[in-house]
């Protein structure tokens, strides 16, 4: 028989243990009750008055005035958070002259800058079609005592490609080592994308092979850009071959991988196969995303099967996949192209009922659709809603509305549209001026003479 290791405790020992336990419990309660809570980072960070005030200002001129007013305040000195906040706001408003002045100030006062500021500016220059400005800023970064990482390099490579400057991007990529960079998988993916955009499949594969030689492991993005290349060409078998290769190499396809294959099938009029693939992907453990439904929605709407496209929205809701504004815009776009603008407008209302705010593209398509149909009163109503939502129509839309309203005798409405254009610093075209002036002066031809005089160089 094995003796128990637990011996019976005497009464004094038991009482001693209980007293000690009571002391520890009392101490812990007191400690947790009295000890100060550790402050969070949010509490430690003091709000910067200028940055807080800047958030409420939309007009770039007012933002600059506020910046100067703070400079006049005794004892206040702008630092990096102030400069970066204002520069971001000005860049979003495309006021790059003011951005350049602020950058000169940063350089002059030796304000230490973070790389994120320059990467953000490089992206803004790229969006506005200013690749030379982006390249110049990339070269100037070290003069701001700012370290350039691979993230900066990849940002400028992307901007150059997106602005049709592939040769410049390739030259920069080749000079990576001289600049102290060792390209990563993102760098190689960007260059592959560039070659594929030019239709150079063999060159893209050379980049892929170089990745492997450098022992840089391809990602799902690496394969997706190649799959997309063949899918857009309607060559599904080549795309599927790459898809299978990706799986063999241990890369798990994502929703975009399947969407690219689905797009290839739809381009071959194989909608049923594309829809089946969406359910196959779920079986493989990849949950369908909006991008997959978007492919199906686009194909149905393009073929004019709007009832089936609308039922797809219901199917999404049943599967607890929430549609977004892009899904609705696909329907609206093709309805407007079919001159079914009334139905497109109903979709817009339905969006809002379900809690989706239309974006600028939504409004533009419907306003343009009403103008194309000659329904200028309806177009003006949607334009009003668009302006209230702080979105702006295109110059062509404004001008089309003015001409249409004038021709229908709606002069007050035409003047309203003109005023809204001027407020947004947009200049009406010659046809718009001619319609307004001719209507005002009468139909005796004097209006055209007046317009010609106003727009002539000596006028």
- How many other C-beta atoms can be found within 10 angstroms of the C-beta atom of residue 418? 21
- Please give the angle made by the CA atoms of 73, 77 and 78, to the nearest 5 degrees: 115
Determine whether 337 is exposed, middle or buried from the number of CB atoms within 10 Å of its CB (0-12, 13-18, 19+): middle
Predicted confidence at residue 12, as pLDDT, reads 47
CA–CA separation, 292 and 237 (whole Å)? 19
What CA–CA distance (Å, rounded) separates 277 from 184?
A: 32
pLDDT of the residue at 424: 85
What pLDDT does residue 24 have? 44
CA 274 vs CA 230, 231, 269, 281, 292: distances in Å: 16, 12, 9, 11, 9
- CA Rg value for the chain: 32
Q: What local confidence, expressed as pLDDT, does residue 220 receive?
A: 96
Check residue 45 and give its pLDDT. Answer: 57
- Residue 242 in tokens: 């790459």
Distance CA 19, CA 223 (A): 68
pLDDT at 109: 87
- Cβ(119)–Cβ(83) below 8 Å: no
Pull the structure tokens for residue 175: 């000079």
The pTM (predicted TM-score) of the whole model is 0.77
Domain boundaries, the chain: 394-459
Give the pLDDT of the chain (459 residues) as one tens digit per residue. Answer: 334 434 444 444 434 443 444 444 444 444 444 444 554 444 445 667 677 767 777 777 777 777 777 777 666 677 888 888 889 988 988 999 999 999 998 888 888 889 999 999 999 999 999 999 999 999 999 999 899 999 999 999 999 999 999 999 999 999 998 898 999 999 999 999 999 999 999 999 999 999 999 999 999 999 999 999 999 998 999 999 999 999 999 999 999 999 999 999 999 999 999 999 988 999 999 999 999 999 999 999 999 999 999 999 989 988 888 899 999 999 999 999 999 999 999 999 999 998 889 999 999 999 999 999 999 999 999 999 999 998 988 889 999 999 999 989 898 998 899 899 888 888 878 887 777 777 766 554 444 444 444 444 444
Please answer whether residues 90 and 98 qualify as being in contact, where contact means their C-beta atoms are separated by less than 8 angstroms.
yes
Q: What is the pLDDT of residue 74?
A: 60
Burial of 403 (0-12, 13-18, 19+ CB in 10 A): buried
Spatial distance between the Cα atoms of 323 and 88, rounded to a whole number of angstroms: 31
């Amino acid at each position: 028989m094995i003796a128990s290791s637990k011996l019976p405790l005497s009464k004094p020992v038991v009482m001693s243990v209980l007293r000690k336990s009571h002391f520890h419990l009392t101490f812990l309660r007191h400690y947790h009750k009295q000890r100060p809570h550790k402050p969070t980072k949010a509490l430690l960070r003091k709000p910067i008055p200028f940055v807080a005030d800047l958030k409420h200002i939309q007009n770039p001129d007012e933002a600059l005035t506020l910046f100067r007013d703070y400079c006049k305040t005794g004892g206040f000195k702008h630092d990096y958070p102030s400069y970066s906040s204002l520069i971001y706001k000005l860049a979003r408003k495309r006021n790059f002259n003011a951005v350049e002045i602020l950058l000169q100030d940063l350089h002059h006062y030796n304000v230490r800058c973070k790389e994120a500021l320059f990467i953000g500016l490089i992206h803004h220059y790229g969006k506005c079609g200013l690749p030379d400005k982006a390249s110049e800023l990339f070269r100037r970064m070290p003069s701001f005592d700012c370290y350039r990482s691979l993230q900066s390099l990849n940002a400028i490579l992307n901007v150059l490609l997106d602005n049709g400057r592939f040769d410049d991007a390739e030259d920069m990529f080749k000079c990576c080592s001289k600049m102290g960079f060792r390209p990563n998988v993102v760098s190689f993916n960007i260059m592959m994308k560039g070659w594929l955009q030019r239709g150079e499949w063999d060159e893209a594969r050379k980049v892929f092979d170089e990745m492997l030689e450098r022992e840089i492991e391809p990602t799902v993005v690496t394969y997706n850009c190649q799959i997309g290349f063949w899918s857009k060409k309607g060559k599904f078998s080549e795309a599927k071959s790459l898809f299978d290769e990706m799986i063999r190499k241990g890369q798990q396809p994502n929703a975009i991988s399947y969407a690219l294959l689905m797009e290839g099938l739809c381009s071959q009029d194989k909608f049923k196969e594309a829809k089946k693939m969406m359910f196959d992907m779920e079986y493989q453990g990849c949950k369908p995303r909006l991008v997959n439904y978007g492919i199906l929605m686009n194909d149905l709407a393009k073929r004019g099967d709007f009832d089936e496209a609308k039922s797809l929205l219901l199917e999404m809701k049943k599967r607890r996949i929430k549609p977004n504004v892009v899904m609705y815009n696909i329907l609206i776009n093709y309805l407007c192209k079919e001159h079914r603008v009334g139905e497109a407008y109903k979709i817009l209302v339905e969006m809002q009922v379900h809690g989706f705010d239309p974006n600028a593209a939504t409004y533009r398509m419907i306003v343009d659709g009403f103008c194309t149909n000659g329904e200028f009163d309806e177009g003006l109503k949607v334009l009003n809603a668009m302006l209230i939502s702080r979105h702006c129509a295109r110059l062509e839309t404004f001008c089309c509305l003015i001409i249409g309203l004038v021709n229908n005798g709606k002069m007050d409405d035409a003047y309203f549209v003109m005023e809204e254009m001027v407020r947004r610093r947009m200049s009406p075209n010659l046809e718009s001026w001619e319609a307004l002036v001719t209507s005002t002066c009468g139909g005796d031809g004097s209006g055209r003479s007046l317009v010609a005089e106003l727009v002539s160089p000596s006028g």
